[in-house]
Chains A and B, each alone.
Chain A
C-alpha cells in the first residue's frame, strides 16, 4: 500500500536535484524507466562550462529513451528528459519544451524553480514534483507552485539525503504530501508513472 498517490493520473513528473544528484538519480531513474508511461523532466545543477556527462551515464542504465530536449520539441511520454547546461528549461502551454538564457535563478541555470513553475501552470493537478538532495534552496518555490496548482510533491527526507538543504527548504515552503527515503520515493514514483494494467 502506497503512502500517497495523486488524485488524478499523473501526466508528467519533474525532478530537481543538486549536490549528490548523481548517486540519487542513478538509483531512481533506472528503476522507474522500465515501465515508464509519462515524461520525466530532470533538472540537475550543472557547471555551465562543461558538457554534461549525465545523458551518457544514465542512458545505458535506463530502459527508456534518455535525451536532452531541443527548443520546441514536444514533451513525449516514456522519455527521461535532462535539462542541458547553461539554459533554463521551461514547458510551454502547447506541451513543448522552451528555453531561456535569462539570468541565473538562485545562482543556477538551469534552475529547478523555473522548470517547476512553468510545468505547474501547464499540467496543474496532473503534475508530480520531486525534490531530491541538494545544497541550496532552489526548487522550494517551484514545489510550492506545484502544490498550489493541485499537484503532488515528493521530497527526499533531508536527514537521509546526501545534502539536506534543498529538500529541507522544499519541506518548509511547500508542505509536500510525501517525505521519505530514496527507496520509498522510488517505489511511489514507479507506481505513479507505470503503464496501467
Chain B
C-alpha cells in the first residue's frame, strides 16, 4: 500500500508532465521528494495536492516551482582533478581536430560552461570550438548566458582553477563590479544556449566532448540509461564523456559503449 504522500507525488509529477511537458517522473525519488517539500513550504502549501492545484491553474507557480526542482549548486572547476585530467588526457586528442563541438548537458547557472571555456582558451582551442550549453530551466540558461557570479565565490573558484593546472589566474577572465564577477563576453562568443531535456528530447548535433556532471545523479536508472543513450549517439567515435565524481557507467546499460579513460577522474571515451 502506498502512503498518501507517495500517491500525491505521483499525481503531482503526472500533472506537471501533462500540463507543462516537463518530465520528472523518472527522477531519483529521494532527492526529488526533498525538493518538492522545499518548494511546497516556500510556496505556502500544506500538502502536495494543494501545490498541484495551484500549479495547474497558475503558470507563474510552475515557473517558480521549476527553480526548486532543478537548480543544483555547483562551482567553477569543481573537482580540479577532472580538469587536470582533461588537460592531460583529452586536450591532446582534441587538438588533432580542425574544429570542435562540445556539449555541456545540464549547464545550470553556467559554472561548468565557463570552466570549459576558460580551459579551452588556455589550451588554444576556444576559437575553433562551438559549445552547446543546455538545460531544462530557462531561468538558469539566462543566468548562464549572463555569466555573473557573486564575488565572494571567486576565491574558491580561483583555487580550483589553479589546482586544475592553470598557468594564469582566473581573474584574467572576469572583471569585478559591485560585488559581482562578470565573465569576459568573448568566452561565450561561440556558445549556443538552448533549452534541451535529457528526459524527453533527442540528439541535436554530433560532438567530440560531452560534459554531463552531477546531472545523472538526479535520475533513476532507467532515465540514466536513456540520457546516456543520447550522449552516446551525440558523440563521434572516440568522443569523450566527462561525468561527476560519484557517477559511474558501471550500473548502466550503456557501459559497453565506453571505455574508462581515467576512472578516478571520471573521463570515458566512446568505443
A49-B30 CB under 8 A given contacts A70-B247, A100-B72: no
Which residues of B are in contact with A by a Cβ distance under 8 Å?
28-31, 33-35, 72-74, 78, 156, 159, 214, 216-218, 220-221, 224, 244-248, 250-251
| Pairwise interchain contact A71-B248, C-beta atoms closer than 8 A | yes
Find out whether the CB atom of B246 lies under 8 angstroms from the CB atom of A92: no
Query: Are B159 and A102 in contact (CB-based, < 8 A)?
Result: no
CB<8 Å pairs between A and B, sample of 20? A49-B156, A69-B246, A70-B247, A70-B248, A70-B251, A71-B217, A71-B247, A87-B246, A98-B28, A98-B217, A99-B246, A100-B217, A101-B214, A101-B217, A102-B72, A102-B73, A104-B73, A118-B30, A121-B30, A122-B30
Q: Of A70, A114, A118, A121, which contacts B246 at CB under 8 A?
A: A70
CB-CB contacts of A161-178 with B at 8 A, as 1s and 0s? Answer: 000000000000000000
Which residues from chain B contact A114 at a C-beta distance below 8 Å?
34
Cβ–Cβ < 8 Å partners of B248 in chain A: 70-72
Is the pair B216, A92 in contact by a Cβ cutoff of 8 Å?
Answer: no
The answer for the CA separation of A49 and B31 in the assembled complex, in Å, is 23
By a CB distance below 8 angstroms, the chain B residues around A69 are 246
Q: How far is the CA of A118 from the CA of B30 in the complex (A)?
A: 6
B30–A90 CB distance below 8 A: yes
B73 to chain A: closest residue by CB: A103
**A residues touching B (Cβ–Cβ < 8 Å)?**
49, 68-73, 84, 86-88, 90-93, 96, 98-104, 114, 117-118, 121-122
Q: Chain A CB within 10 Å — which of B28, B72, B159, B216 has the most?
A: B28
A2 and B255 CA atoms in complex are apart in Å by 48
B251 and A102 contact, CB distance less than 8 A: no
Residues A100 and B218 in contact in the complex (CB < 8 Å), given A71-B247, A84-B245, A84-B246: yes
Contacts of A98 in B (CB 8 A): 28, 30-31, 217
Residues of B within 8 A of A87 (CB): 217, 245-246
- Is the Cβ of B31 less than 8 Å from the Cβ of A88? yes
CA distance A73 to B250 in the complex (A): 9
In contact, B247 and A100 (Cβ under 8 angstroms): no
With CB as the reference atom, state the residue of chain B lying closest to A118: B30
CB–CB A102/B35 < 8 A? yes
| Distance in angstroms between the alpha carbons of A114 and B30 in the assembled complex | 9
Q: Which of A49, A99, A102 touches B34 (beta carbons < 8 Å)?
A: A102
User: Chain B's nearest CB lies how many Å from the CB of A132?
Assistant: 23
